[in-house]
Structure 1
Amino acid sequence: MDVFFEFLNNLTNPDWIVSHGGLYLLLFIIFAETGILIGFFLPGDPILFIAGMIVSNMSISPSEQVPTLLYWIVLVSLAAILGNFVGYWCGKVFGKRIMSMEDSWFFKKSYIFKAQEFYEKRGGGAIVLARFLPIVRTFAPIVAGIVGMEFRKFVLYNVIGAVVWAGSLVTLGYLLGENVWVKENLELVIIVIVLIATAPVIIKAFTSKDKAKIAQ
């Protein structure tokens, strides 16, 4: 277990990531977090931000930085898109089996129910919004498969969500990657990024509840 927590802790260290797979490790983490059931614990948002930081600190000429940034964004977006396709397929094929699984330390049916509730409220747009919500983004495509969301519709929202999510956070990391204060306070910056990404949805959720109470 100590090894597991040490691994998670190292995922917020750009130098460790570079020396242990670099881009390939980043792509695997994004794919796993967005497509594999047990990948919900992986830190997708921080990983994207750190990916941008890595690009900004590469020993390459200024003229190569932007093309490299775009190259990384494309690959990360593809990993996120493929991950959601796997999640959708798992929900489609193994939906009943997944819902019959017993709760354990790495899987709880409540995660599925939360994602399903989120999906029912937001419709197809939930696939886009879920990209910015830890845990929910892992289970949203699975729920889409379970409820039989139209595949063409899923493809559209899957692609849009992946590009917006990856493009925004990787670019942000790139723009702030050489800032000394950001480097020295990376953990704090990551917490703020997660809060900013999730705040609009959380606020809207509470607002909706208040409106529902008033209506009653």
Structure 2
Amino acid sequence: MTGLPLAVDPTSGSSLLAGFGALAVLVVIFAESGLLVVGFFLPGDTLLLPAGVLCAAGHTSGPHLSLWQVMLCAAVGAVAGAQVGFLIGRHGGRSALARSPRLRSAAARGEALLRRYGYRKAILIGRFVPLIRTVLSPMAGILDVPTRTFTVWQIVAGLLWSQSLVLAGYWLGAAVPGIENYLWLLVGAVVALSLLPVLLRPRHHSD
């Protein structure tokens, strides 16, 4: 019987999954979904897709994870993390943002998203964009987005984001033999796709 690994890279989805399995999904997605500073540096998309791959039967390397456990942990982490982030923003989020120029920059983009698209659409879009995802919930709290509106739409967005990525990974793991040996390619593709909403957003010019 092996013990817990002595060295786990918290910024590496593969390392976290190998060390802690579905529990890593719960903790990391919770933090990445709304905990400023801590969640800013953790993997989100790049954890969920590999987790789904490792749930598929037939892979030959890496840990084998339970699909229902990963999906449940992803859902709970995404929804609970965003709600906690919203409460942090409502009760003193600006002081946390003031400590980091990088956080302030991401928060400004999150605020612009909320103002450009409206609360519902922004919450949906923002969930799929790295960095924005972490600051959007606290930013919604700072901007006094109605609690009911935020809660309903962050649940919808959190479930769509977390479950779609896990299931996409599971499908790939089942359909493509040996895909778990090329997780770095999948991670790169996910990062590129997740940035499309920012790169393709419409440009608005001031009058």
Post-superposition offset of 1:133? 0.7
What is the match of residue 34 of structure 2? 35
Give the match's secondary structure for 2:195: helix
Indicate the RMSD between aligned Cα atoms, in angstroms.
2.6
Q: Does the CA-based 8 Å contact 2:33-2:133 persist in structure 1?
A: yes
Q: Are 1:154 and 2:150 matched, yes or no?
A: yes
Give the drift of 1:195.
1.5
**Residue ranges of structure 1 left out of the alignment (5+ in a row):** 60-67
Are 1:114 and 2:109 matched, yes or no?
Answer: yes
TM-score (norm 1): 0.79
Partner of 1:49: 49
Q: Where does residue 194 of structure 2 map in the other structure?
A: 197
Contact 1:12 1:187 in 2 (8 A): no
Secondary structure, in 3 states, of the residue corresponding to 1:36?
coil
Q: Given the alignment, which residue of 73, 77, 80 partners 1:75? A: 73
Shift of 1:71: 4.6
| Residue 95 of structure 1, aligned match among 89, 93, 96 | 93
State the identity %: 26
Indicate how the Cα distance of structure 1 residues 96 and 136 shifts in structure 2: closer, same or farther if over 3 A, else same: closer
**Alignment partners' CA distance in 2, 1:71 and 1:22:** 9
What is the distance in 1 between the residues matched to 2:114 and 2:154? 13
Q: Which has the higher helix share?
A: 1
| Residues 58 and 150 of structure 1: CA distance in aligned 2, closer, same or farther (over 3 Å) | farther
Q: Residue 134 of structure 1: SS of its match in structure 2? A: coil
Task: Answer whether contact 1:133 1:198 (CA < 8 A) is retained.
Answer: yes
Q: Find the aligned partners of 1:78 and 1:183 in 2 and give their Cα distance.
A: 25
Unaligned 5+ runs, structure 2: 1-6, 60-65
**CA-to-aligned-CA distance 1:76-135 (integer Å, 9 cap, x gap):** 111110000111000000134234x2336xx53112111111111122221111111110
Counterpart check, 1:7 vs 2:6: no
1:102/1:166 CA distance change after superposition, 3 Å: closer
CA contact (8 A) 2:55 2:67 kept: yes
Letter in 1 for 2:115: E
What CA distance in whole angstroms lies between the structure 2 residues aligned with 1:186 and 1:91? 35
Q: Report the Cα offset of residue 158 of structure 1.
A: 0.7
Relative distance call for 1:144 and 1:193 in structure 2 (3 A) is same
The 1-side partners of 2:41 and 2:168 are apart by 22
Residues 25-54 of structure 1, C-alpha deviations (whole Å, 9 max, x = no match): 111000011121121111100111112112
One-letter amino acid of the structure 2 residue matched with residue 86 of structure 1:
V
When normalised by structure 2's length, the TM-score is 0.82
Aligned partners of 1:74, 1:23: CA distance in 2, in Å? Answer: 9
Partners in 2 of 1:140 and 1:149 — Cα distance? 11
- Aligned partner of residue 28 in structure 2, secondary structure: helix
1:146 Cα offset (Å): 0.2
Structure 1 residue runs of 4+, over 4 Å off?
Answer: none
Deviation at 1:177, TM superposition (A): 1.5
